[in-house]
Amino acid sequence: MKTDFDFPNKYLIGPVVFRPDFNAQSEVISANQAWSLFFSAGKEDKLLGFNAEAGRFFTNLLLAVGVAGVLWAVLFSNLA
């Protein structure tokens, strides 16, 4: 059995955030890329695809949980 499984790039297996081509670009990453890196622990930046709705959903969900927590603390701290 002969395999032609060859990785020409030594950075192909490592996390995305440590690859030189990812860090060399001076552009801002999208919300999808940020959440993909978060959910995959830095291993993949295209996990959620290219649809911007998924990134907006997780960002708004995080903001809603934060606001609900602050409101909960303010409303129920006065009852004690």
pTM of the model as a whole: 0.68
Per-residue pLDDT of the chain (80 residues; tens, 9 = 90+): 666 665 566 656 667 776 767 777 667 888 998 899 899 888 888 888 888 899 999 999 999 999 999 999 998 887 65
Q: Which two tokens stand for residue 12?
A: 């192909």
pLDDT at res. 61: 96
Amino acid at 47: L
Give just the sign of the alpha carbon dihedral 41, 46, 49, 54. Answer: positive
CB atoms near residue 37 (< 10 Å):
21
Cβ-proximal residues to 43 (8 Å cutoff; 6+ apart), any chain: 15, 16
pLDDT at res. 60: 97
